[in-house]
């Protein structure tokens, strides 16, 4: 067959070069954005508060000027009646985070909306009205985590969380982790969430 020369846009070498440049360029942009995102979201920044935020009151409210829901960090509101130093708070949250992984929470629940869909989202679990009132919340959460079968409410679904042999210390860690997570600025997700602080 007679080879007629191909136009540039149909040639193999043109597309090879394009593929290389597009990939390298996109990756470079991603790397730059990654540095920026990681630094903007390290614990203690504006978007992801320091772990010692567990000493504070946390709420989640609609901000008219931003058109979205935002975490609101208030005055002191101790967890388990104790004021944690930054390092103590980090250790407690760390224990909680590790416990959520070792117990595989993410394969029933979502965290920040990612995970499984068999059980409710944990992003704002600390603020959920399901814990009835702020006075009983901490206690109820720890009890529930340690023996979810006995303390199950199931909201009429018959689905019960299994007993994951969570110790009291681990349960406290998980509660601290959930409290800290509820203070992260998630760009307004979930929308229209009414917290335990809201007046009915």
Partner 1 sequence: MNTSGLNGVMQNATALGEKSRACLNTFKAWVQLDSSNLSPGQQLSVKYFIVAVILFFAQILFGMLAATQFIFPGFLYEILDFSVNRMIHINAMIVWMLYGFIGCVYWFLEDESGTDIVGLKLGNLAFWVLTGAVTVVVLVYLLVQIGPGKDSSLWLINEGREYIEAPRWADIGIVVVMLIFFYNVVATFSKGKWSGIAGVLTLDLVALAGLYVAGMFYMTNITHEQYWWWWVIHLWVEATWEVLVGVIMAWSLMKLLGVRRKIIQTWLYIEVALMFGSGILGLGHHYFWIGTPEYWLTIGGFFSALEPIPLVAMVVHAVYDSGAHAFKNGNHPALAWIIAQAFGNFFGAGVWGFMHTLPQINMFTHGTQWSASHGHLAFFGAYATINIAFFYLAIQHWRGDVWMGGNSQNAWRWKWALGLLNGGVVGMTIALLIAGYEQSFIERAVEGSTWGGYFAAQNHPSFQSAMNWRWFFGLITFAGLILLIWDLLTIGKGETRKAPIIPVEE
Binding residues with partner 1: total (CB under 8 A): 87
Minimum distance of ligand HEM from residue 116's CB (angstroms): 3
Q: Which does 148 bind (CB under 5 to 8 A by kind): partner 1, ligand HEM, none?
A: none
Q: Which among 150, 135, 144 is positioned nearest to 168, based on CA atoms?
A: 144
Cβ proximity of 54 and 179 under 8 Å? yes
Minimum distance of ligand HEM from residue 190's CB (angstroms): 12
* Contacts (Cβ under 8 Å, ≥6 apart) of 76: 55, 56, 57, 83
Q: Using the rule CB under 8 A, give the single segment among 75-83, 120-128, 133-141 that binds partner 1.
A: 120-128
Q: Left, alpha or beta for 104 (phi > 0: left; psi -120 to 50: alpha)? A: left
Nearer to partner 1, 57 or 185 (CB): 185
Which residues between 123 and 142 bind partner 1 (CB under 8 A)?
124-125, 128-130
Cβ proximity of 84 and 76 under 8 Å? no
Minimum distance of partner 1 from residue 138's CB (angstroms): 17
Q: Using the rule CB under 8 A, give the single segment among 30-38, 72-80, 132-140 that binds partner 1.
A: 30-38
Q: Which residue has the tokens 């901000």?
A: 63
Residue 19 contacts partner 1 per CB under 8 A: yes
Q: Which among 119, 118, 163, 127 is positioned nearest to 143, based on CA atoms?
A: 163
């Amino acid at each position: 067959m007679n080879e007629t020369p191909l136009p540039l846009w149909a040639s193999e070498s043109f597309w090879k070069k394009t593929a290389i440049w597009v990939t390298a360029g996109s990756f470079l942009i991603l790397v730059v954005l990654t540095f920026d995102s990681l630094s903007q979201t390290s614990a203690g920044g504006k978007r992801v508060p320091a772990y010692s935020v567990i000493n504070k009151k946390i709420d989640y409210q609609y901000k008219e000027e931003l058109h979205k829901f935002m975490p609101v960090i208030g005055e002191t509101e101790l967890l388990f009646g104790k004021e944690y130093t930054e390092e103590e708070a980090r250790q407690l949250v760390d224990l909680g985070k590790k416990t959520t992984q070792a117990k595989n929470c993410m394969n029933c629940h979502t965290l920040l909306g990612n995970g499984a869909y068999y059980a409710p989202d944990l992003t704002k679990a600390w603020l959920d009205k399901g814990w009835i009132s702020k006075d009983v919340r901490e206690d109820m959460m720890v009890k529930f985590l340690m023996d979810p079968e006995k303390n199950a409410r199931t909201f009429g679904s018959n689905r019960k969380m299994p007993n994951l042999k969570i110790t009291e210390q681990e349960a406290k860690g998980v509660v601290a982790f959930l409290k800290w997570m509820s203070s992260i600025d998630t760009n307004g997700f979930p929308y229209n969430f009414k917290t335990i602080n809201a007046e009915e």
